[in-house]
């Protein structure tokens, strides 16, 4: 990788949504947020403060009010980041803010309306449009993955069984940093394919309704795009650059009193607030500059964003605000977090020739398949010339590097046809030869049939090899080829002009912010007084200004303390709710679970410090461990366990037992109608007790065992003994 250690601060932009109908009807007219688009400032008014209290002002890289368009935000703030990703840098875009402030709308927008598409669909269009307009000597490989962090578990949204499987685990390597193990990655060759991947993941994402948002995101979603580019360098060798783009849609912070969540929604809100609190602690530690420890491991979210915050990445943070007066505290908290994030310094660098580049593996596989095709082509051409009887002389010219698939297939078909014709002629000659014996004819015909079979196998292998070659080559996108039909030179010029305007606007905003700071410093230097009265007035004015700043600082300290008290109260309330639920579960365990089962579960528990959670030990230890579960002894071949002599006898009687390999005898109730046998007059005279027996049955029923065959009643002696026993019992 490149050794360039130049630092770059996190770019922070703020966007404010318009008032909703519910907020307009419930609250007072007007909002509490004002924005100066020219200077990039956000002015916040406290609705509970007296009019004399000064308003709070925050300055950011760019601000967008409720009338701003999706395209303006993308062109001015996001497009330079996507260009950096295509150049080989790592990039991250994430939206942060209170629930219901428009984070998902900013990131995704309305897919069917081109004017309201968010950052993600515009990024898709940007990436594939750039590939289609690049030079023909460049090759690209685009991969996409989609995951969510739900209840502090990482779930693969592209896995159809993600709801039934365990959460994925985080790993860290020196080359790529933090990554998710066994995460599904899809190769995408067009905008339509990557949009389909996005739609599949969105259908599996956790979404719920709260009092503040009908479609509230209950998890943090991360859409990962990897763009690998191969380009010849000055040394003539192909160099690979890998850019990784993280598109993050965070779940919003929630207050239980406002959202009204309960049960599972309360657990989700607790986990969301916990991860966002950990993110705020990481931002504070990085912005402070004096902290020796940054708590990245406090949550899965901060682990995944480790490179994006203070690492190898270029980062854009979009802070979303709500203008309603009842959300003043949450809006102020979001602005403070965003203001601190401006001070984070990243060290982005180009990822050049990494070891894990999948594009290099694809190119090696394509080269190997091409070599095999060339070899088969050479062999087919050689055999074809031998059949024609022509002397083949190998020329000194090198074969072309690229072999056309149509030519290879045509030559292979011609070779197969010629071989089949030759073998058919030989078979006819053998059949017509009168001097050969029948055995020799059969032997020669068998050899020819074998050669025909080998020929067909070689043809099938060549077809499979050609199909694999085409499939591998189709996954690579070559610059200069049209991906979308509407891409033309006029659109390219239009986008270039639009980008120049956005860059010019950004520079003007930065220059105006610098001029304001310089003017304040220059006024103090240029001050000259002609009289003492004028000096007193200037000093008094300056004193009032400093006193106003002092009051603002005191109000800021008071707001921070109040916010801390509110956060503590909310955490205590959430803790009480969780404690009550925990006591309820303890009550169930103590009254309904046997102590020995409870002890078994407790003995299997173990704490994983890396994942920061409790886990169960496996029932069957690893083979590498010395203590292994003993295998069950086997007394007979084919049986799962030892069987008794009775079971062997029962099996030898030819019955179809369900429990053939176990020591269990099945005794089923005889639910069929009784089998009766009518007694003759002679048998009735021989058994006088039959008429005295108090029953209305006209026959006798005998039950049969599961291992006995049914037998009919043929003797009257059994009847006599049965009636005698019944009489004795009575």
Binding-site residues from annotation for ATP? 97-104
Pair 143, 245: CB distance under 8 Å: no
Dist. CA 655–CA 146, nearest whole Å? 56
Q: CA 206, 210, 212: angle at the middle one, nearest 5?
A: 120
H or E element, residue 319? strand 314-321
Query: CA-based Rg of the chain, rounded to a whole angstrom?
Result: 41
- Of the CA atoms within 13 Å of residue 601, those in its CB half-sphere come to 8
The conformational region for residue 618 under phi > 0 = left, psi -120 to 50 = alpha, else beta, is: beta
Dist. CA 194–CA 225, nearest whole Å? 9
257 backbone dihedrals φ, ψ, rounded to 5° = -65, -30
Pair 567, 253: CB distance under 8 Å: no
Please state, in angstroms and as integers, the Cα–Cα distance from residue 189 to each residue in 108, 143, 196, 318, 492, following that order: 20, 9, 12, 29, 21
* CA 396 to centroid of chain Cα atoms: 53
The four Cα atoms 425, 426, 427, 428 give a dihedral, to 10 degrees, of 50
> Which of 373, 350, 551, 577 is CA-nearest to residue 462?
373
Question: Strands 56-59, 216-217: parallel, antiparallel or unpaired by DSSP?
Answer: unpaired
Pair 116, 257: CB distance under 8 Å: no
279 backbone dihedrals φ, ψ, rounded to 5° = -65, -40
Q: Which two tokens stand for residue 526?
A: 């240029």
| 3-class state of residue 580 by DSSP | helix
Q: Which residues pair with 352 in a beta bridge?
A: 241
H or E element, residue 107? helix 103-107
Pair 144, 185: CB distance under 8 Å: yes
Pair 127, 134: CB distance under 8 Å: no
H or E element, residue 143? strand 139-150
Question: Strands 139-150, 90-97: parallel, antiparallel or unpaired by DSSP?
Answer: unpaired
483 backbone dihedrals φ, ψ, rounded to 5° = -100, -40
Q: Which two tokens stand for residue 678?
A: 């009518």
The answer to whether the Cα torsion of 252, 257, 261, 263 is positive or negative is positive
Q: Which residues are annotated as a binding site?
A: 97-104
Q: Which two tokens stand for residue 615?
A: 């886990």
Please state, in angstroms and as integers, the Cα–Cα distance from residue 582 to each residue in 532, 568, 574, 577, 705, following that order: 74, 20, 12, 9, 53
> Which of 385, 376, 368 is CA-nearest to residue 412?
376
Please state, in angstroms and as integers, the Cα–Cα distance from residue 360 to each residue in 139, 141, 354, 472, 654, following that order: 10, 10, 10, 12, 64
Dist. CA 331–CA 16, nearest whole Å? 10
Please state, in angstroms and as integers, the Cα–Cα distance from residue 659 to each residue in 193, 421, 638, 654, 707, following that order: 52, 62, 14, 13, 12
């Amino acid at each position: 990788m490149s050794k360039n250690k130049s630092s770059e601060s996190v770019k922070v932009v703020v966007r404010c949504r318009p008032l909703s109908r519910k907020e307009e009807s419930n609250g007072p007219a007007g909002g509490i947020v004002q924005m100066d688009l020219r200077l990039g400032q956000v002015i916040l008014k406290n609705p509970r403060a007296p009019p004399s209290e000064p308003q709070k002002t925050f300055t950011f890289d760019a601000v967008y009010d409720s009338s701003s368009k999706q395209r303006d935000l993308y062109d001015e703030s996001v497009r330079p980041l996507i260009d950096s990703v295509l150049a080989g840098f790592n990039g991250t875009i994430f939206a942060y803010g209170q629930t219901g402030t428009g984070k998902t709308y900013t990131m995704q927008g309305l897919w069917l309306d081109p004017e309201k598409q968010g950052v993600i669909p515009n990024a898709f269009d940007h990436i594939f449009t750039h590939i289609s307009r690049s030079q023909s000597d460049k090759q690209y490989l685009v991969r996409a993955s989609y995951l969510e962090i739900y209840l502090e578990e990482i779930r693969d949204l592209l896995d159809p069984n993600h709801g039934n499987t365990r959460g994925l685990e985080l790993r860290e390597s020196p080359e790529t940093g933090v990554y998710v193990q066994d995460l599904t990655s899809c190769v995408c060759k067009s905008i339509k394919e990557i949009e389909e991947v996005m739609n599949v993941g969105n259908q599996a994402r956790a979404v719920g309704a709260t009092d503040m948002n009908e479609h509230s995101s209950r998890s943090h979603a991360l859409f990962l795009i990897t763009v690998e580019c191969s380009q010849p360098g000055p040394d003539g060798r192909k160099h690979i650059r890998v850019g990784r783009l993280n598109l993050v849609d965070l779940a919003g912070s929630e207050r239980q009193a406002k959202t009204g969540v309960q049960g599972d929604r309360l657990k989700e809100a607790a986990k969301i607030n916990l991860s966002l609190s950990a993110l705020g602690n990481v931002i504070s530690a990085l912005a402070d500059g004096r902290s020796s420890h940054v708590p990245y491991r406090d949550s899965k979210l901060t682990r995944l964003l480790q490179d994006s915050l203070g690492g190898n990445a270029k980062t854009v943070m979009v802070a979303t605000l709500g203008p309603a007066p009842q959300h003043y505290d949450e809006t102020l908290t979001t602005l403070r977090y965003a203001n601190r994030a401006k001070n984070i310094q990243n060290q982005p660098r180009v990822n050049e020739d990494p070891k894990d580049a999948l594009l290099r593996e694809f190119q090696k596989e394509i080269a190997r398949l091409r070599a095999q095709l060339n070899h088969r082509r050479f062999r087919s051409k050689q055999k074809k010339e031998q059949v024609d009887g022509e002397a083949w002389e190998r020329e000194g010219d090198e074969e072309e590097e690229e072999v056309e698939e149509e030519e290879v297939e045509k030559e292979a078909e011609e070779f197969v046809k010629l071989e089949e014709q030759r073998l058919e002629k030989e078979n006819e000659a053998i059949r017509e030869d009168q001097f050969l014996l029948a055995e020799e004819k059969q032997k020669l015909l068998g050899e020819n049939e074998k050669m025909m079979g080998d020929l067909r196998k070689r043809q099938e292998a060549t077809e499979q090899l050609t199909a694999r070659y085409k499939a591998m080559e189709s996954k690579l996108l070559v610059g200069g080829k049209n991906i979308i039909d509407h891409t033309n030179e006029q659109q390219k010029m239009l986008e270039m002009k639009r980008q120049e305007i956005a860059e010019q606007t950004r520079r003007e905003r930065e220059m105006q912010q610098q001029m304001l700071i310089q003017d304040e410093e220059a006024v103090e230097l240029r001050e000259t007084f002609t009289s003492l009265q004028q000096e007193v007035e200037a000093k008094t004015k300056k004193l009032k200004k400093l006193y106003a700043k002092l009051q603002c600082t005191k109000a800021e300290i008071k707001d921070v303390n109040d916010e801390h008290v509110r956060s503590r109260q909310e955490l205590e309330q959430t803790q009480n709710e969780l404690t009550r639920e925990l006591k309820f579960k303890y009550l169930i365990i103590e009254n309904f679970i046997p102590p020995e089962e409870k002890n078994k579960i407790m003995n299997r528990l173990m704490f994983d410090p890396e994942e920061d959670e409790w886990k169960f030990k496996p029932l069957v230890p690893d083979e590498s461990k010395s203590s292994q579960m003993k295998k069950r002894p086997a007394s007979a071949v084919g049986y799962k366990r030892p069987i008794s002599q009775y079971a062997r006898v029962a099996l030898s009687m030819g019955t179809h037992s369900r429990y053939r390999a176990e020591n269990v005898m099945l005794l089923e109730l005889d639910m069929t109608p009784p089998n009766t046998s009518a007694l003759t007059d002679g048998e009735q005279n021989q058994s006088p007790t039959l008429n005295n027996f108090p029953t209305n049955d006209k026959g006798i029923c005998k039950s049969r065992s599961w291992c006995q065959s049914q037998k009919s009643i043929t003797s009257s002696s059994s009847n006599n003994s049965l009636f005698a026993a019944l009489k004795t019992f009575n």
